[in-house]
A and B are shown apart, each in its own frame.
Chain A
Amino acid sequence: NAGVTQTPKFQVLKTGQSMTLQCAQDMNHEYMSWYRQDPGMGLRLIHYSVGAGITDQGEVPNGYNVSRSTTEDFPLRLLSAAPSQTSVYFCASSRLGTESLSSYNSPLHFGNGTRLTVT
């Protein structure tokens, strides 16, 4: 199984450019999410989705859009890149828990990450 696949692995953008980070999973997971990881900050949730057609904001959504047209795909769009968006981005997926995301048998599965630099 491929698991969670993220593309690209590396990207350099100029301020103001837009781009889409791709994420696909083949585990039929209902839950998908995007995190960014910055030094000393831990992983922070950007957006998440609990199924096709359903998305919601996480902790740091500004400057990012998402959509979920299929169970498998959850792309993250940067509308107008800013240097503050320089980070490592991870896509993650999981089965849904019964009452909360992380029931014991549904951990998060992460993609390999995208290293984004905005100059």
Chain B
Amino acid sequence: RKEVEQDPGPFNVPEGATVAFNCTYSNSASQSFFWYRQDCRKEPKLLMSVYSSGNEDGRFTAQLNRASQYISLLIRDSKLSDSATYLCVVNTGGYQKVTFGTGTKLQVIP
């Protein structure tokens, strides 16, 4: 089993829709979690950190489920500009223990 797994998609959703992605991780000792966004042929950029209590930033909501070992990202009222690949990042402790998922591709269509 991969350390961090994501559905590669693509998720094709109409503008205004709500879409959710999950990311599962295998190491129960994982300490911190992030969602990054990567546009085509660009560098990854931090979208949001994922806190144990869940957190929200505008249209984006991130949740952590330690019991089932997954994190989720919910995007409400999707915009065309949300089209990108969303990378799940898990840190299991230690500077080298940052593992990136392969990403979930989102395409928002008019």
Which of A14-22, A40-48, A63-71, A72-80 lies at the binding interface? A40-48
State the main secondary structure of chain B at its contact with A.
Answer: loop
Decide yes or no whether A12 CB sits under 8 A from chain B.
no
Within 8 Å by CB of A90, from B43, B91, B94, B95, lies B43
Q: Are B102 and A110 in contact (CB under 8 A)?
A: no
> Could you say which residues of chain A place their CB within 8 Å of the CB of B42?
112-113
CB distance from A3 to the nearest CB of B (A): 10
Decide yes or no whether B98 CB sits under 8 A from chain A.
yes
State the main secondary structure of chain A at its contact with B.
Answer: loop
Q: Are A101 and B98 in contact (CB under 8 A)?
A: yes
Q: Which of A86-106 touch B at CB < 8 Å?
A: 90, 96-97, 99-104
Q: Which residues of A contact B (CB under 8 A)?
A: 31, 35, 40-45, 48, 50, 56-59, 90, 96-97, 99-104, 107-108, 110-113
Q: 5 shortest A-B CB distances, which residue pairs?
A: A110-B43, A107-B46, A43-B100, A102-B91, A42-B100
